[in-house]
Structure 1
């Protein structure tokens, strides 16, 4: 049996949970957030608890993430995989696979630029303000949209599913292709080899694309026991300085 992303994250928390795991920059706003493996795992656990207890999501449900490459988006994906839910990334036309019925999306999660369009697109719609320190929206949300930052703090820092998801569960649907939990781990190992990312590697991943960030900034660090520096809206002029300051060992083009 292959490992799952949730199992890999638990391994990292046990191995050296206090070390930096994910450092996020947004060069358009000047934001910098650093999360240890423990802190990231706490966000994942709270989100998984919110998914199951607050939104009634179950293993096998589909969760559309209409989000950019952001540390909270990575936590949402990891929470879905802890539950056994399948992350759906919208296609180029914005379609996330429908809203109702057996093949539809159970939960739609949207950032500030997509929350208006996401309203009413699924039985449960959650808005993420993507503000520093996980802040809430400062303006009213459309009817039926839940503010993630308001709801999630009350959930526990530890999540244990009643039945751990099997590695054959669907985990990521993008551009008509579905990857299983175990398949994602295998894909991340292949990507690590392609990048030359060995044990303990610290990757600089500059991207605004969530699909890219999920592999290069989340799953590759998990499979090599490393960490990532995820940069949104990168200012290329600052890359060399950031590589040195963050002790980056490999930069992803």
Structure 2
């Protein structure tokens, strides 16, 4: 695949899948619930492929379309983002009436009433659907599981908030360098992905460097030092 047609997901995942497909790539903790989920690069790629197939085959998404993503920093959000980029979509991290599709948590359904197609995520560890969804809203967990876990991308449009794949990748590599992230690092982050810069710093830069991520939500301060030891953390992110 030449550089002009390479998606951001290809740029991020291809080197990782070549070098370390089975090692831990994203480890997610929710300290409020005790949840811990760990995904290899291969498993993450399978989830991203399912998402890309959902967007293309069920919603008719074409490369260059805008996709609103209103989700917290979570392993499923990583799969959604990689899937959207694989499908050639431009991700926007705010309510956008020009978006063709929105993927949101239940509390953001009211923010995307003008978007033609909406999929809601429960973010439940066991894949339970969002209860009592309004008519016309797709439940992500129910729908995505029936789609294939391989995806063949075509071309890429803008990747993130108007920035091209090359621009986002360059920003991510620069961020990784400034944060001291290398391909051997195990990175701990409790930061949100609520803006393009935050998403680049907290997720894309980690993958661009070839590192692995331990992402924590509702962080318990008392658990932090223990987690640094048990997860063999070598780098901690902070804004």
Counterpart of 2:145 in 1: which secondary structure?
A: helix
Tell me the equivalent position of 2:108. 114
Structure 1 consecutive aligned stretches of length 4 or more whose deviation exceeds 4 Å: 1-4
Unpaired runs of at least 5, structure 1: 91-95, 99-103
Preserved CA contact (<8 Å) 1:217 1:229: no
Q: Is the Cα contact below 8 Å between 2:28 and 2:74 reproduced in 1?
A: yes
1:61–1:151 distance in 2 versus 1, CA, 3 Å: same
- 1:93-132 matches, within 5 Å, as 96-98=95-97, 104-118=98-112, 120-132=113-125
For 2:193 and 2:144, locate their aligned partners in 1 and report how far apart those are by CA, in whole Å.
24
Question: 2:15, 2:190 → 1: CA distance?
Answer: 26
Look up the match of 2:61.
57
1:206–1:231 Cα contact (<8 Å) kept: yes
The Cα of 1:110 is off from its aligned counterpart by 1.1
The correspondence of residues 1-253 of structure 1 with structure 2, limited to 5 A, is: 1=3, 4-7=7-10, 8-90=12-94, 96-98=95-97, 104-118=98-112, 120-137=113-130, 139-161=131-153, 163-165=154-156, 169-173=157-161, 178-211=162-195, 214-253=199-238
SS of the equivalent of 2:72 reads: coil
The answer to whether the 8 A contact 2:191-2:237 is kept is no
Instruction: Work out the CA distance in 2 between the residues paired with 1:240 and 1:134.
Output: 30
> 1:72·1:130 contact (CA, 8 Å) conserved in 2?
yes
Compute the TM-score of the two structures, normalised by the length of structure 2: 0.91
Cα distance in 1, alignment partners of residues 105 and 135 from structure 2: 16
CA distance in 1, matches of 2:233, 2:36: 16
Once residues 209 and 155 of structure 2 are traced to their aligned partners in structure 1, the CA distance between those partners, rounded to angstroms, is: 22
Q: Distance in 2 between matches of 1:31 and 1:210?
A: 22
Cα deviation, residue 218, structure 1: 2.9
- Structure 2 unpaired stretches of 5+: none
SS in 2 for 1:80: helix
Cα distance change on mapping 1:4 and 1:189 into 2, 3 Å: farther
In structure 1, distance between residues paired with 2:126 and 2:26: 14
- TM (normalized to structure 1)? 0.86
RMSD: 1.7
